[in-house]
Chains A and B, each alone.
Chain A
Amino acid sequence: MADADRKDTQEQAEFRAYCRDWLDSNKPGQPPVRIPLGALELSDPAALQWLQVWQKSAFDAGLVGCDYPVEAGGGGRNNCQTIANQEMQRAKTPFFPNIIGLGMAAPTVLFHAQEDTKNALLPRLFSGEDIWCQGFSEPGAGSDLANQQTFAEKRGDSWVINGHKVWTSLAHFANWMILLCRTDKTDKYNGLSYFVVPIQTAIGKGVTVRPLIKLTGETGFNEVIFEDLVVEDKYRLDAVGAGWKVAMTTLSHERGAGQLVTPSAGGMTQENTKGANTSSPSALIELAKTSYRNGKTAADDPLLRDEIIKIMIRQEAFRQNQRRALVPALIDHPMRIPLQNKLIGTEFNQDLAEIAYDIQGAASSLYLNDDNALGGGEWQLAYMNSFGVTIAAGANEVQRNILGERVLGMPKSK
């Protein structure tokens, strides 16, 4: 880190060459089914299955969990996940379906689970054979995450769980859940404990998963209800009462500010779809050049041109921020840029899609079910969906509190 201008280490260079070589001959071809924009949008079991085959092949090849210990199914390498990620992006692979497992559950399990549990769970997490979901949010615990009401009661050697989780992405496919809940009603923060829970095998036996319909009309997330679910004590992470601390490990990784780099693939473009790439300003420019507003080409509208350039500046700055974040001499506070990423990334996508609405003029009224919709109606869908991520994972208002308090040293808003 201190020597950020260095090239790849020898280990990284060799691993990069290996990844490139493997991807050359093993990158999947075009999928037989429509693959959504991201794992959290998965609703077709056939799409999930196709992506699981891809994740398993990448895991078997050593491109997933590279920096994790060997006994936990990892590659035991040093700073190589970032190399695998770069090469997979470069090769434009499909994304990994087990996104919550890789990004949030894996580091949490590694740092806090008992040894046997860790070694039993992580290999199947990395391979994507087990899909994971996250049980944090509740009807009364959104931005105020510590206000958990789901309760785990100790009975003998086991725990009995009752409660209600909401906005649970991928729960309809998930085998496992990371669960934050209350074990002591007298202390808000120190009364929390953290478990990993096998939910799929418990459906109908203490676990109910019901889909929630998003404002877009799609399903994608769920509510999960626990009624006297019995969970073995070996699935407790860290001490009873240490749940908040464990949750911070999860959240720091979710915000891209954790110790371990999340295995991440992507970049594939699916042929034979008319869907626009809604995260790309160059697609936005294409849209502007081919759309009419009030009978005129949108790309000639001076105010829209300014909006397009403003968002392109934000995109370039985000990219350069990531580069500068690795140069300690050019940053004032080590968390200053990492803690911005969730906020900036999600607002970028939201604003990009909103400009696409403006560009389309009258045609912005058309949606996925209309053949005349520009870009397949994907921009409109992306705009509506964008609120999922500006709200989730700590609403952006909470992110601004965190930045103000932890980086700028301002007084806590609670």
Chain B
Amino acid sequence: MIEQPKNFGFGEDETMLRDSAKKFFSDHCSADKIHRQVAGNPDIHRNIECIWDKGLWQQITELGWTAACVPEAAGGIGMPLVAALALAEEAGRAAFPSPLISTFNTTFVLRECYSAAANDVLAEIAGGKPMSLAITNQQGSWEPTDTDVNIDNGQLNGNAWFVQDARKAEGLVVSARSAAGVGLYYVATDADGVTIAADGIIDLTRDQAHISFAGVTAIEVAAPGTGDTALAHALPAIQAVIAADMVGAGEWLLQTTVEYTNTRVQFDRPLGFFQAVKHPLVNVMLDIDRAKSLAYSAACAIDSDPERQEWANTVKLAHMAKANASDMAVFASSRAVQFHGGIGFTWECYVHLFFKRQMHNQMLFGDAKYHRAILADMLIGQAA
């Protein structure tokens, strides 16, 4: 067994970074402010928007958030993965509209490419350039080998789907297939031949798009035949960081609902007196704690084992984290709406911001059932 730090690698530096993030969000991103920013227009038929505050992005890049988990050799700070999780947790708690998670995910993929070209892109991320991954096909497959984009003579052709924060990102890492297998390629979002078609999505704190590539000249960051491996090696980190976002959002939903049920009086008592309300909220707490412990343990396992000697265990923890967090996200948001009663069902109540972010998060990179099916094959063995 590889020795792991007892504190998951979450030491003083990570605590300082997280606490500064807490302060940043409480200064700049109250739920009230986010609601005014992104929920101005409830019209279902409104134009598809991409609303975010680039000034705040500038500030967080100056605080070093995007550089945190970029290796020092590529111009980053080289902090352990739990630093990204802590930032994601705070971003989730604030329902922060930004390409932060997508940029982290791109970082995790590029870290597994081990090429000079990948390091160049990582340096740009460390410098604050927002990025995203274009690695999902039209059928919504999360498998690293599946892509609807082809590469031929250094040019990308085809379509990528469900690309997160596509209109905020300035660069994309694209998975594309050639005769030699799947490779990974870097393109700028404003490159010739890239067409971004925004998706109309429920989550008000994100944007999503499908992107067509028509003869786009791209930089190879992982050679054909190695791209799917790099993606597979990055997936546990991606799953853990999304789980952390859900943990933060879940905690906001929990605490806000507790506060509401402590003050809302019916039948001459605060709602929280009633065990029909209290006990499910305790269950939400138990679920959040499980998800948080699993996410941090997965991140720590990744950091502790660069040679991937105990990779199966790492993969297991990450699948467990995402599975648990996804179910928690649905449960925490459903109880928040339900226990806020009539007001919880309205657009003016902030709960829906988090409800929608959680519903988006729970499917992202696979929902609970998807991850449990993989775990079943791993831990029980293939079914006959």
Contact = CB atoms under 8 A, between A and B. Distances in A.
Interface in A117-134: none
Give the interface residue-count category, chain B: 35 or more
Contacts of A397: 275, 279
A5 B14 CA distance: 13
Interface centre among B375, B379, B380, B381 (most CB of A within 10 A): B380
Given A310-B372, A400-B278, A400-B279, A320 B7 contact: no
A327 B262 contact: no
Interface in A295-354: 297, 299-302, 305-306, 308-310, 312-314, 316-318, 320-321, 323-324, 326-327, 329-330, 332, 336-337, 340, 343-344
Contacts of B361: none
A310 B279 CA distance: 21
A288 to B, nearest CB: 7
Contact of A320 (B18, B294, B323, B376): B294
A260 interface: no
Contact of A306 (B275, B286, B290, B369): B369
A155 interface: no
A321 B290 CA distance: 7
A309 B272 contact: no
A306 B376 contact: yes
B5 A5 contact: yes
Interface centre among A4, A318, A411 (most CB of B within 10 A): A411
A403 B282 contact: yes
A403 B287 CA distance: 13
Contacts of B217: none
Nearest to B280: A400
A404 interface: yes
A411 B262 contact: yes
Interface in B271-327: 272-275, 278-279, 281-283, 285-286, 289-294, 296-297, 316-317, 320, 323-324
A362 interface: no
Given A320-B297, A400-B282, A401-B278, A312 B383 contact: no
A309 B279 contact: no
A309 B376 contact: yes
Given A336-B285, A408-B258, A297 B384 contact: yes
A336 B383 CA distance: 39
A413 B296 contact: no
Nearest to A326: B6
A289 B251 CA distance: 39
B379 A409 contact: no
B11 interface: yes
B88 to A, nearest CB: 14
Contacts of B254: 408
B6 A404 contact: no
B285 A324 contact: no
Nearest to B254: A408
B144 to A, nearest CB: 22
A317 B7 contact: no
A410 B281 contact: yes
Interface in B238-263: 251, 254, 258, 261-262
A318 B324 CA distance: 12
Nearest to B382: A300
Given A299-B381, A312-B375, A320 B282 contact: no
B296 A320 contact: yes
A337 B254 CA distance: 16
B278 A410 contact: yes
Contacts of B274: 413
A317 B6 contact: no
A283 to B, nearest CB: 13
A297 B383 CA distance: 9
B292 A324 contact: yes
A199 to B, nearest CB: 36
Given A309-B380, A404-B272, 14 more contacts: A288-B380, A299-B381, A300-B383, A302-B383, A316-B297, A316-B316, A320-B296, A323-B8, A324-B289, A330-B10, A336-B285, A400-B275, A407-B285, A411-B269
Q: Which 8 A-B pairs have the closest CB atoms?
A: A317-B290, A320-B293, A5-B7, A410-B272, A305-B376, A404-B278, A300-B383, A320-B297
20 contacts: A288-B380, A297-B384, A306-B369, A306-B372, A309-B380, A316-B294, A316-B320, A317-B289, A317-B294, A321-B289, A323-B6, A324-B297, A330-B7, A400-B282, A400-B283, A401-B278, A404-B279, A404-B281, A404-B282, A408-B282
Interface of B: 5-8, 10-11, 14-15, 18, 251, 254, 258, 261-262, 269-270, 272-275, 278-279, 281-283, 285-286, 289-294, 296-297, 316-317, 320, 323-324, 369, 372-373, 375-376, 379-381, 383-384
